[in-house]
Amino acid sequence: MTSADPIENLATLIRCPSVTPAEGGALTALAAMLEPLGFSVERVTASEPGMPDIENLYARIGTEGPHLMFAGHTDVVPVGNEAAWTHAPFGAEIANGEMFGRGAVDMKGGIACFVAAVARQIAKNGPPKGSLSFLITGDEEGPAVNGTIKLLQWAAERGERWDACLVGEPTNPDQLGDMIKIGRRGSVSGAITVHGVQGHAAYPHLADNAVRGVIALTDALMHPPFDAGTESFQPSNLEVTTIDVGNPATNVVPAEARAAFNIRFNDTWTAETVMAEIVRRLDAAAHDEKLRPGRAPLSYDIKWAERPSHVFLTRNNNLIASLSGAIEAVTGRAPKLSTTGGTSDARFIKDYCPVVEFGLVGQTMHMVDERVAVADLETLTVIYQTFIERWFGDAQA
């Protein structure tokens, strides 16, 4: 049974050029691995006006609980400068103990290993005493509108319920076993526009320089810190991402200035309370007499980017203990339970069941020459198999 070999599985998946939004044959290849194992596989195409249709896949084996879900994506980011690759980006060539290819670590490699782990576990113990499912999207690296969110809704409407989920994204900074993600910070972006009065640089009292205003507002966003961090999270952090005035004249005071920002916030806040805090800071600065002696309050407006990402922290002991115990048993190292990094599709899954993330070493993700140590594929497969065994064992107990 070839699907018990993660190296074969990954080579097959890498050879499918599934750059978002293209399916590229990757889901068909995955279905061909899962069906012989006894999974019933469904292909779900999601649509949204003005966006390309996205193909997704949901596969399940078993009808009873407990129900463990593996989540991931077969789409990949573009190859970038193809000439700079030392091995073809969709070739799955192995050199010096590493397999090269777009998606090798993010995250066809994680899928290849989980499929192999399931195949080995079924060969060893028969079908799981409960249910196992794969929730695989083709839209994680794109707008993420026609992927995990819609696939979860579709499955939930058919009565699917899960007890726990493992996302196979690359989570290890340097070595397999470094890190599990047990939560993620939230993310909110916004843009402010400051309205002043245009005038002559030599007669500033007749004008109202929007640059002074945008400096005051962005400074209020950056100082003081939003918090000092919490038990499970690093301090929240706001970065001003751009300030734009676009004034080519040296003798003109500009009337308008714009800035944009993004905050990554921890569980001190919700998206709503952190947005309220940002507005409070901006209003305080706009009305600060010291910043604008003898002038009316600063005029500005704020626009929020759509769809904030909500912060979450998983506190499911069975899930975390089965995974970290499996990692320690196989690698001899206790993984760090982390909430660092960007957002992931786990932020959508957490509304349905407890979710953790563990996959390969992420160093080359999205880079030219994305690659994975072949030895890591075997180790991750053994970790995943051990995790499955422990999770079902503990869930039954």
Q: Active-site residue numbers?
A: 75, 140
Pairwise CA distance, residues 19 & 52, whole Å: 13
Asked if residues 76 and 169 have their Cβ atoms less than 8 Å apart, the reply is no
Closer to Zn ion by Cβ: residue 139 or 208: 139
Helix, strand or coil, per DSSP, at residue 33? helix
Provide, rounded to whole angstroms, the least separation between the CB of residue 75 and Zn ion. Answer: 9
Provide, rounded to whole angstroms, the least separation between the CB of residue 344 and Zn ion. Answer: 7
Expressed in angstroms, the distance from the first to the final Cα of the chain is 31
Helix, strand or coil, per DSSP, at residue 45? strand
Binding flag, residue 208, Zn ion (CB under 5 A) = no
Using CB under 5 A as the binding criterion, the count of chain residues that bind Zn ion stands at 3
Q: Considering only the stretches 28-36, 100-108, 205-213, 367-375, report the one whose residues sit in contact with Zn ion under the rule CB under 5 A.
A: 100-108
Pairwise CA distance, residues 344 & 289, whole Å: 42
What is the Cβ-side half-sphere exposure of residue 69, based on CA atoms within 13 angstroms? 27
C-alpha 167: how far from its chain's center?
A: 10
Asked if residues 108 and 395 have their Cβ atoms less than 8 Å apart, the reply is no
From residue 338, give the alpha-carbon distance in Å to each of 154, 298, 314: 30, 41, 11
Binding flag, residue 345, Zn ion (CB under 5 A) = no
Closer to Zn ion by Cβ: residue 67 or 73: 73
All residues at 6 or more sequence positions from 229 whose CB lies less than 8 Å from its CB, including other chains: 235, 236, 266
Provide, rounded to whole angstroms, the least separation between the CB of residue 106 and Zn ion. Answer: 4
Closer to Zn ion by Cβ: residue 107 or 355: 107
What does the DSSP assignment read for 340-371? -SS--THHHHTTTS-EEE--SB-TTTTSTT-E
Q: Considering only the stretches 6-14, 48-56, 104-112, 219-227, report the one whose residues sit in contact with Zn ion under the rule CB under 5 A.
A: 104-112
Closer to Zn ion by Cβ: residue 26 or 122: 26
Closer to Zn ion by Cβ: residue 169 or 227: 169
Q: Considering only the stretches 18-26, 102-110, 277-285, 301-309, report the one whose residues sit in contact with Zn ion under the rule CB under 5 A.
A: 102-110
Instruction: Report the interhelical angle of 374-396 vs 6-14 (nearest 10°).
Output: 110
Closer to Zn ion by Cβ: residue 9 or 218: 9
Binding flag, residue 106, Zn ion (CB under 5 A) = yes
DSSP state of 207: S
Give me the residues paired with residue 199 across strands: 253
Q: Considering only the stretches 20-28, 55-63, 106-114, 331-339, report the one whose residues sit in contact with Zn ion under the rule CB under 5 A.
A: 106-114
Provide, rounded to whole angstroms, the least separation between the CB of residue 346 and Zn ion. Answer: 11
Asked if residues 135 and 70 have their Cβ atoms less than 8 Å apart, the reply is yes
All residues at 6 or more sequence positions from 276 whose CB lies less than 8 Å from its CB, including other chains: none
Site for Zn ion in 153-192 (CB under 5 A): 169
Binding flag, residue 135, Zn ion (CB under 5 A) = no
Closer to Zn ion by Cβ: residue 179 or 274: 179
Binding flag, residue 107, Zn ion (CB under 5 A) = yes
Q: Considering only the stretches 14-22, 37-45, 91-99, 107-115, report the one whose residues sit in contact with Zn ion under the rule CB under 5 A.
A: 107-115
**Nearest residue relative to Zn ion (C-beta):** 106
Binding site for Zn ion (CB under 5 A): 106-107, 169
